[in-house]
Structures are given as C-alpha cells and as structure tokens.
A and B are shown apart, each in its own frame.
Chain A
Amino acid sequence: MARVVVDVMLKPEILDPQGQAVQRALPRLGFDGIADVRQGKRFELEVDGDVDEAALARIHEMAETFLANTVIEDFVVKVEESK
C-alpha cells in the first residue's frame, strides 16, 4: 500500500473569496501577519500495490479529468509514503 496525495488549488489568477474570508477573520482571532490565504483541496489516495510509473500516470489522468477542473484549477501529484 502506498499513499498518493493530489493537491488541487485554484489557479493564481482566479479570485478565491473563501480564502479571502479566512484571511480577513485571522486578525480578529489574534493571528496577525498573514498577508494572503488561498484555499484548496487535498485528496489522499490509498493505492493497492506498487505505485509505479503506470499507476502514477493513471492517477495523473484521474486528477486531470476528475479531481481537478483544469479550466480553473492546478494540481500536484505526490507519492507520500510506501509501506
């Protein structure tokens, strides 16, 4: 078993009002010094068997077609751990 993580973030040029709302709440809660917040999604995939090149290619395809909407989002695929 191995865990592969897919991080999905809005593209930098896309307005993220949710991230802005979080950022604006921070000083009120006593957390100072945070200039900007962007909110994204993290997917943790538990993969059966080895994460070889073919498996990673499939996960990349999955992220591109389904987990992320590449019109508005970027994604990064990372192998987190192997047991």
Chain B
Amino acid sequence: MTARIGVVTFPGTLDDQDALRAARLAGAEAVSLWHRDKDLKQVDAVVLAGGFSYGDYLRAGAISRFSPVMETIIEQAKAGMPVLGICNGFQILTEAHLLPGAMLRNNHLHFICRDQKLRVENAGTAWTSDYEQGEEIQVPLKNMDGRYVADERVLDELEAEGRVAFRYLDMNPNGSLRDIAGITNEAGNVVGLMPHPEHAVEPLVGTGRTDGLGFFTSILKKLVTA
C-alpha cells in the first residue's frame, strides 16, 4: 500500500496540479482537497501549494489560514501529520502560526522568477530525508512576497535548533533575513519554503533538473515505512 498525499486547492491556488503530479511521480496516491471541506479524506500528509489564495487580500495567506480545511490541518499538524507549505503555502503556515515569523513583500518590490540555488540545511525533516545534509539543489523561485522576517530571538532560536531548513545560495532574491529560504517546526513534520520543488520533478520540463523530487520521495518513504 502506498501513502495518500493531499493537496489543498484554495480560490487562487495555482500550483496544486503540479504538486499532485509530483506526489504521483514519487509513487504516492495524490488526493485533491478543497478549502471549504473540513474533511481531509484520510490523507497521510498535506501539501499547501503555491499561488495567490484569496488574491493575497489583507496579507498573503491571512484569509486562507481561517478556511475550514485549515482548521483540520492545523489540528492534525500539531498532532504530527506532515505538512509542506510551498510559496503561498509557506505564507499560510506562518499566518497559521504553525511556523514562526512572517513573509513580506520582496525588498526590491518586483515579482521574481528564476532558477534558484539552495542549500539543504536540515536533511532530518519529514520532507528532506532523501537529501544529504548540506546538499545544494536548484529549483524555480517565483513570488512577490518572499521576504522572510522574524525577530532576532526567533532567528537565533531557529539557527540554534537547526530549524533553518533551506538557505538561498549565490544571491538573496528577496531580502529574507539570514538568507532563509525555508524553515521547519520543532518536530520536523511541518516544513515551509518559498522556492518550488514541485516544478522540478521531471527532466522534460524546466531546466531538466529533478532536484525537487526529493521532497516527495522523502515523505513517501517516511509514510510507507512508518
């Protein structure tokens, strides 16, 4: 039996189909979840995909965070269910306080879209175990509100506990403090990042690199052997 990975669609989500496809390519059963539905259809893990849920009104992720599906996801995530937030999904996770800090407008005020190098700083999370500690990967990055901020105390805590999961390499594309591209919660089941691993899973598209597939194979291994 394989694992069931759910991907939530909010109004304005863009990357749900790519995330479902990435889950399938990794060998999982991909399940669509709907924002108004509290039922998670017995999935073993959830991906919050990229896009502009609720048009980014108020703040990116601020309205989605209160949607019915998030009520269940927040509850389950606290109980240990793996959750991956990509881009807008990362913004939702910070708004939901499942991850510390907040996301703000890029410091240069432009939308950015590029292939971005990252270093995997924590290969011990539910979503990164198929990577080597310190491995350098390249996946697409595309966002408007990608500047990660948190106060110094929180940043120091994240660094000390190894909870900075990914760091930007070569250049800081959005002014994120300490080059942070993604973080994890204490338990390692909730991970959020701005770049898009789900867009780098097949050799035929993009730059031909499949560096993002590891997120989905990591979680699958964890769930199937659990």
Contact = CB atoms under 8 A, between A and B. Distances in A.
A71 B153 CA distance: 12
A55 interface: no
Interface string A7-48: 000000111011001000000000000000000000000000
A72 to B, nearest CB: 5
Contacts of A66: 58, 62, 66
B104 A14 contact: yes
A71 B105 CA distance: 15
Interface bracket on B: 20 to 34
B105 A17 contact: yes
Contacts of B102: 69, 71-72
Interface bracket on A: 10 to 19
A67 interface: yes
B95 A69 contact: yes
B109 A69 contact: no
B107 A71 contact: no
Contact of A69 (B62, B106, B151): B62
Nearest to B97: A71
B149 interface: yes
Interface string B142-183: 000001011100000000000000000000000100000000
Contacts of B101: 71
Interface in A39-69: 66-67, 69
B119 interface: no
Interface string B92-108: 00110000111011111
A66 B61 CA distance: 11
Contacts of A72: 102, 104, 149
B59 interface: yes
Contacts of B151: 13
A17 B174 CA distance: 11
B135 to A, nearest CB: 30
B86 to A, nearest CB: 20
A69 B150 contact: no
Contacts of A15: 104, 107, 147, 149, 175
